[in-house]
Amino acid sequence: MATKTRNLIRLKCTVCNRANYYIWKKKGSEKKLELNKFCKWCAKHTKHKESRR
């Protein structure tokens, strides 16, 4: 299956807590992602953290 080697990760805005981005991440990299991304709800760049389901 296609999901075998990759995980679907949600990137959540740390300000409004909404999931704005979905990215595929390879398994094995256990580091938590923190990215500055544009949040359409906050209408500015905010820090986004990954969150798993």
Q: Does 13 bind Zn ion (CB under 5 A)?
A: yes
- Per-residue binder mask for Zn ion (CB under 5 A), 14-53, x = binder: -xx----------------------x-xx-----------
Residue 40 CB, nearest approach to Zn ion (Å): 8
Q: Find, among 49, 15, 12, the residue nearest to 32 by Cα.
A: 49
Question: How is the beta sheet containing 34-39 ordered, strand by strand?
Answer: 19-26, 6-13, 44-51, 34-39
Three-state SS for 26? Answer: strand
Catalog residues that contact Zn ion under the rule CB under 5 A.
13, 15-16, 39, 41-42
